[in-house]
Amino acid sequence: MRMPLHERIRRDIEAAILSGELKPGARLPVEHELMRQYACARMTVSKALSALSSVGLIDRRKRAGSFVARPKVHSMVLDIPDLEQEILQRGQIYRYRLLRRQVRLPDHSTAGEAALAGRGQLLLIEGVHFADERPLSFETRLVSLSAVPEMEALSLEGASPGAWLLKHVPWTEAENRIAAVPADQTVARHLNVGTGAACLFVERRTWRGNDGITLVRQHFVGSAYDLIARFGSSKL
C-alpha cells in the first residue's frame, strides 16, 4: 500500500500502543532513533509524533522524551463512563453491590456475545450501583477475557468493574444505544421502582482496535439520572 512515510511511522507506533506492546507510561524511542530506523529526516518523524500527540495518544516533553499517554477519561466524549466518579462529584456516597459473577463460553445463539468474545471466554458480571444507598443503576456486563485476562483474577467486591476497566484498558471505539423503556419486573425490583416506570436504558460496546472489550447494559432510574454528552472542538 502506498502511504506517506510520516503516516506509516504514525501507524506503526499507534499499532504498538493499541496492541499493548507499548504500555501507558512507556517511553518511546527518541526522534533521532526513529530517524535512524526509518532513514528519514527529523521533520518527518516529528510530524508523525505530532499527530499522535494531537489525538492524545502520546505526551511529549522537552528534554524527557515522548511517552505513551495514560488512558484518557473520555476526552470530550460522553459523560456516561465513570458512574462512580460522577456520583462522588455530586457529593453522594457511592456503592456497588455485586449480584452475580460467572465465567462462561459465549452463547453463539446470541449475536452480541459471539461478536464480543469470538472463541474466548466471557466474564459475566451483574450488579447495582447505589448513590447515597439508593439504587441508581442496574448493570449487566460482559467482558471478553481474551482482551482483558487480568479481569478474571480481580476481586469485584465493592468497586465498580466499569471504573476498573476505564483505568486499566484504553479503548479506541465505543458505541452507545440509548433508549427509554418501562421497567420490567427484574429491573423494578433491583431499582426499587414500580413496574412500568420510565427507565433510561444504555447499551454500550467498546473496542480496542478490532477486539471487543466489553458489552454493558444499564438501566437507570429515570427520575434520578440524566446523561450529559458534550461535544466540541473546545480547547480546554
Partner DNA sequence: TTGCTAATAATGTATAGACATAATTGATCG
Partner DNA sequence: CGATCAATTATGTCTATACATTATTAGCAA
Q: What residue ranges bind DNA (CB under 7 A)?
A: 4-7, 30-32, 39-44, 46-47, 49-50, 53, 60-66
Take residue 61 and report the three cell numbers written for it: 516533553
- CA-to-CA distance for 141 and 191, rounded, in angstroms? 17
Supply the minimum distance, in Å, between the C-beta of residue 71 and DNA.
20
Q: Looking at 207, 212, 214, 215, which residue binds its own copies (CB under 8 A)?
A: 207
Q: Which of 202, 199, 193 is nearest to 222 (CA)?
A: 199
- Taking CA atoms, 66 is separated from 27, 54, 76, 133, in Å, by 6, 13, 23, 44
| Terminal-to-terminal C-alpha distance of the chain | 37
Q: Looking at 90, 173, 184, 192, which residue binds its own copies (CB under 8 A)?
A: 173
Which residue's CB is nearer to DNA, number 26 or number 229? Answer: 26
Supply the minimum distance, in Å, between the C-beta of residue 82 and DNA.
27
Which residue's CB is nearer to DNA, number 55 or number 64? Answer: 64
Supply the minimum distance, in Å, between the C-beta of residue 23 and DNA.
17
Task: Tell me: does residue 231 bind its own copies (CB under 8 A).
Answer: yes
What is the 8-class DSSP label of residue 78?
B
Q: Looking at 142, 200, 213, 216, which residue binds its own copies (CB under 8 A)?
A: 200
Please give the helix or strand (H or E) that residue 99 lies within, else none.
strand 94-104
- CA-to-CA distance for 13 and 171, rounded, in angstroms? 16
Residue 102 touches which member of its own copies, DNA, none, C-beta under 5-8 Å by kind: none
- Taking CA atoms, 16 is separated from 29, 107, 119, 230, in Å, by 12, 32, 24, 30
Number of residues forming the site for its own copies (CB under 8 A) = 37
What is the 8-class DSSP label of residue 212?
E
Task: Tell me: does residue 90 bind its own copies (CB under 8 A).
Answer: no
Task: Tell me: does residue 226 bind its own copies (CB under 8 A).
Answer: yes
Q: Looking at 175, 186, 192, 195, which residue binds its own copies (CB under 8 A)?
A: 175
Take residue 66 and report the three cell numbers written for it: 515522548
Q: Which of 20, 226, 230, 25 is nearest to 131 (CA)?
A: 226
Take residue 44 and report the three cell numbers written for it: 518527518
Which residue's CB is nearer to its own copies, number 157 or number 226? Answer: 226
Residues 125-164, one symbol each (x = binds its own copies by CB under 8 A, - = not), give: ----------------------------------------
- List of residues contacting its own copies (CB under 8 A): 51, 54-55, 57, 77-78, 172-182, 196-201, 207, 220, 222-223, 225-234
